[in-house]
């Protein structure tokens, strides 16, 4: 068996993860949004937070905490639905790019596994000419 086949068998035999919070949410008809770790481009909330920090940084001239709180509230109140829609559109675009890259990687992996299982190797023949 190849490593890929062993991994497939191992993953199929793993029990399905169940979290207590998922069970509790299911009882109350609540859907939990799972946000990917370390991929802020896939998180519209993170994009909005970055935009807010940029605006506050540009408008902050007094550098005191009270002004920062007021600037945050002002920027949040002025956030237009068009800007929020742009955050979601950006996330969808990145998701599609990741899907395409993942599909390409899978195809390449399958091709490599297929060519490896067919026994294709580098030719061992000596192709150099000799003068007799």
In tens, the pLDDT along 28-59 reads 999 888 887 888 889 998 999 999 999 899 88
- What is the distance between the alpha carbons of residues 114 and 131, in angstroms, rounded to a whole number? 40
Buried b (16+ CB within 10 A) or exposed e, 26-40: eeeeeeeeeeeeeeb
Percent of the chain with pLDDT over 70: 89
Residue with tokens 């990687």: 105
Phi, psi of 127 (to 5 degrees): -95, 10
Q: Is the pTM of this model over 0.85?
A: no
Pick from 40, 80, 78: nearest CA to 59: 78
- Of 5-14, 42-51, 103-112, 118-127, the poorest mean pLDDT is in 118-127
Cβ neighbors of 88 (< 8 A, separation 6 or more) are 44
């Amino acid at each position: 068996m190849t490593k890929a086949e062993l991994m497939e068998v191992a993953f199929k035999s793993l029990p399905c993860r169940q979290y207590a919070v998922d069970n509790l949410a299911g009882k109350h008809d609540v859907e939990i949004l799972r946000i990917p770790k370390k991929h802020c481009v896939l998180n519209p909330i993170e994009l909005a937070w970055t935009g807010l920090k940029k605006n506050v940084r540009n408008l902050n001239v007094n550098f005191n905490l009270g002004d920062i709180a007021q600037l945050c509230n002002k920027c949040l109140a002025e956030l237009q639905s068009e800007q929020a829609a742009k955050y979601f559109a950006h996330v969808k675009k990145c998701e599609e790019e990741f899907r395409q890259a993942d599909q390409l990687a899978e195809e390449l992996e399958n091709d490599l596994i297929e060519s490896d299982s067919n026994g294709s190797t580098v030719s061992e023949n000596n192709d150099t000419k000799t003068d007799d």
